[in-house]
Amino acid sequence: MVKVGPYEFSDHDVERTLFHGRTLFDLLPGGFPAAPVGPAAPFRARAEAVLDGVAATDPVAALEVVWESWFGAVAALRASGAFGPAAVGTVTGLFTGDGGVPKHQREEIDVSWSGALGDRQADRKNHGKPWQALCLWSSEIVADLAAGGHPIVPGCAGENISITGLAWERVVPGVHLRLGDVLAVVSSYAIPCKTTANCFVDGHFDVMHHRHGPVSRVYATVVEPGVLRHGDAVLLEPPA
């Protein structure tokens, strides 16, 4: 197990994080196509240098640089105002599971650096890395999908946290969320998986892919662990 600050990466997590290293920067505002100048540019350049250089021979050293550089890029974007003003929503669902979907409703969850305690991912190749610690989704989007005929309910698609009241187009990679005691930073979109097919008409789980707009679940990295309870406020872009 490799530790970078408080975060633990298995050897496989290290490999897959480096594999997705450029994508983590691509998803940030101005990340794709990569802006040659801008708040995130020097941090991306530093990460790409190690991905092109020492990643094959010293993956742990490369991981440390990529991880630090991504947080640096987020901080620089935030300081520039890239994520907009604060907004408030509410936690309206909490879910954990023992692998697979759907996840089961909880009144509260303890959140550690690695995610919701008691939650487990059956597919560790594609899930469970520190930048996938929590999966969040909009309850309004779930309601819209259900109104369109999809047999979906909160927790069906594997989200840990349902949020009501936030404009989902603002919940993008790099944005910070204060959820009760927990501080998290959105790190990527959650790519749809066939295991959620039974939640959708004709198994069309791709309707929640981010290519279709602000409809995707998102993954978040835990910045401050804590306890999260049903009904807690969610503050988007809290003061630094």
pLDDT digits (tens, 9 = 90+) for 178-193: 999 999 999 999 999 8
Which whole number is the average pLDDT over 159-164?
97
**Residue 233 scores a pLDDT above 90:** yes
Same domain, 61 and 95: no
What SS3 state is found at 91?
strand
Q: What is the pLDDT of residues 40-49, one digit of tens each?
A: 999 999 999 9
**Count of domains forming the chain:** 2
pTM over 0.85: yes
Return contacts of 194-201, CB within 8 angstroms, 24+ apart: 195/100, 195/101, 195/123, 195/158, 196/101, 196/156, 196/157, 196/158, 198/151, 199/101, 199/102, 199/150, 199/151, 199/152, 199/156, 199/157, 200/145, 200/150, 200/151, 200/152, 201/148, 201/149, 201/150, 201/151
Task: State the average pLDDT over residues 68-95.
Answer: 97
Does the pLDDT of residue 90 top 70, yes or no? yes
Instruction: Give yes or no: residues 153 and 182 share one domain.
Output: yes
Domain span at residue 99 reads 87-236
Q: What share of the chain in percent tops pLDDT 90?
A: 85
Identify the domain boundary among 54, 79, 104: 79
